[in-house]
Structure formats: C-alpha cells, structure tokens
Amino acid sequence: MFILPEPAHHPIADVPLYTQADAPRMGEIARQVIAFVPVYCQGNRTLVLLSGGHMFYLPYRAQWVREALLRHFAISQRDLRRACEEDLNRSLFAPVVIPTEGVAYAQVRVRRPIGRNDGAQGFFRIDAIRGVRAANAEETAVQMADGIEFIVRMPRPKVVERILAARSALILQQARGVAYPRF
C-alpha cells in the first residue's frame, strides 16, 4: 500500500478516524508506534502506523503525538534536543530517541504545509524501515514493515542522512549508560 503525499488520498478507506473521546491513549500504543505523520483530513490530524500494519487517524497534530510519546517514556523534549546538539551538532530536525527501549525515530518531511503552524515532519522508527528508494529527484519512498510505503518530500540522500543521524543518536545515548534527560 502506498501512502501518497499531501493533500490527496486522506482519509484512506478502512482506516479509522478517531475523535478525542475514543482515541487510544499513548500508554496503550507507545511501544507499537512505528510511524506517525501529519495529514490534512478534516483538519490537521496524524496518521499513525502500528507494528502489525494497523493504521488510524488521531485527532491531534504530529507534534502532540511526539510530545505524548516522549512524556510516556519520561523524556524531556528540550533535553533530548540538547543531547542531539551535543552528540550530532544539530538541534533542528532532531530525531526522537528512546534509549531505554532501544528505538529512535527519524524526522522526515512528508508534506508541504498549507498554514503557518501546520507541521511538515513525520517520524519513522528506524528499525521498522525496510528500504529507501528514490521515487524521483525530490521524493523518496520509505518502505516500512508490512509492505506499507510512504512517499516523502525529500531527496533520497537527505532521507538516508536523517535515518543515520537517528541511529547515531541512539547509539551515543545508549553508550553513555545514562538515560536522558539529565536532571
């Protein structure tokens, strides 16, 4: 299945559209999340892909999902960004790293935002990525587990760079033996 770039193709047939009242809580899904991307679907929503191929739309922005995921694992987003700045010499597009679980999410541009505060970055768990191939000069297909492909709006070398940065951040944070944040 292909998940095409914005603004087309949302909602996807047979993919549940949750409201705030019936959306699954982060504590129930945190260890299963392998990708989450912002989409325009009756407003700003997040398409979440779980291990096993189950997908659904959350009624929140992707930034909220990232913050909730970090909060679930008791990680400060500010300290994580500082750690990435220290380790990788980058603070923009910092990967989401959860060293206690041994997972990292690469941050990749998936859409061109319409409004000023609309997010453009999606997050892909690096151990669930099965392949990356160029779709054309400006777009790349990110192949996930269960045969699902996301078309992202970045050239292949940039996508590979972000995945490698996420892997490096995970390795460096695990090597310290001290889980972030540093209090």
The structure's pTM equals: 0.88
Tokens of 40: 């325009």
Residues 6+ apart with CB under 8 A from 103: 97, 125, 126, 127, 170
Tokens of 33: 């999340």
Residue (of 59, 65, 51) closest to 16 by Cα position = 59
What pLDDT score was predicted for residue 162? 93
What pLDDT score was predicted for residue 10? 66
What pLDDT score was predicted for residue 183? 46
Measure the N-to-C terminal CA separation of the chain; round to a whole number of Å: 43
pLDDT tens for the chain, 183 residues: list them. Answer: 556 555 556 677 788 888 888 988 988 999 999 999 988 877 788 899 998 888 999 998 888 999 999 999 988 888 888 888 888 887 788 899 998 899 999 999 988 777 666 678 899 999 999 999 998 899 999 999 878 888 899 999 999 999 999 999 899 888 876 655 544
Q: Would you call 84 helix, strand, or coil by DSSP? A: helix
Domain boundaries, the chain: 2-175
Tokens of 113: 């935002």
Q: What is the DSSP string of 32-96?
A: GEEEEEEEESSSEEEEEEETTS-EEEESS-HHHHHHHHHHHTT--HHHHHHHHHHHHS--TTPPE
What pLDDT score was predicted for residue 178? 61
- What is the distance between the alpha carbons of residues 115 and 128, in angstroms, rounded to a whole number? 30
